[in-house]
Amino acid sequence: TMARGLHHLLLLAALLQLLSTTSAATAGDVATGSGSEKVHVAIYYESLCPYSVRFVANHLLKAYRDGLLDAADLTLVPYGNAKVNAHGAITCQHGPEECLLNTVEACAIDAWPDVKVHLGFIYCVSDLVMKNKHREWESCIQKQGLDPRPVTECYKGERGHNLSLEYGKQTAALVPPHQFVPWVVVDGKPLYN
């Protein structure tokens, strides 16, 4: 697992380097008034995966706060290595609590489409997971000053399950397929190392 941890660190370094050089170029485009295209960054992850949680809590939010993601169109996909059976039931790698949190985070992304808002919520949940307090995830809604109703109605209802199924389809459609989580894709290409 040490090699896997190093792999993830190298992945993050590559992502941050790419975003910092793109951010500088984009800042120059904005300053001169020319149009700029954002880099599309998609992160496929699991809510209880230790590697995913550390990536979100220790690196992704910091990159966002440092302005490195200003040049990025960030998409978070909470699904990872989950599986769907023939009856549409989802099984998650780290058990039913991960399925619940994946769905809650999918609902948060849906309810609060502004990346600043849902990333703040997901960061809070990831921080709780690292402290082994993930069952207190609802406190993150309050900490962020958000209305809990849209997320609660979503994850307890059919909408949440359907969002999770959709994220499963997006994950299954990756070319090449993801090999681990977090799986970072920049402009349609995965970052390996």
For residue 30, being part of any structural domain is answered with no
Closest CA to 140 of 119, 114, 160: 119
User: How many Å apart are CA 188 and CA 84, to the nearest integer?
Assistant: 24
Q: What percent of the chain has pLDDT over 70?
A: 81
Start-to-end C-alpha separation, the chain: 16
> Is-cis flag, bond preceding 176, omega within 30?
yes
For residue 117, being part of any structural domain is answered with yes
Q: Are 88 and 99 in contact (CB under 8 A)?
A: no
Whole-model pTM: value is: 0.83
For residue 22, being part of any structural domain is answered with no
Residues in the chain where the model's pLDDT stays below 70 = 1-36, 193
User: How many Å apart are CA 136 and CA 133, to the nearest integer?
Assistant: 6
Domain count for the chain: 1
Question: How confident is the model at residue 123, as a pLDDT?
Answer: 96
User: How many Å apart are CA 132 and CA 165, to the nearest integer?
Assistant: 27
For residue 81, being part of any structural domain is answered with yes
Q: CATH number for the domain including 114?
A: 3.40.30.10
Full domain range(s) for residue 86: 39-191
Retrieve residue 32's tokens.
Answer: 């001169």
The backbone torsions φ and ψ at residue 190, rounded to the nearest 5 degrees and listed phi first, read: -70, 145
For residue 135, being part of any structural domain is answered with yes
For residue 141, being part of any structural domain is answered with yes
Question: How confident is the model at residue 71, as a pLDDT?
Answer: 86
- Tens of pLDDT, residue by residue over 96-133, are 999 999 999 999 999 999 998 999 999 999 999 999 99
For residue 152, being part of any structural domain is answered with yes
Task: Provide the Cα torsion 176, 181, 182, 186; round to 10°.
Answer: 0
For residue 123, being part of any structural domain is answered with yes
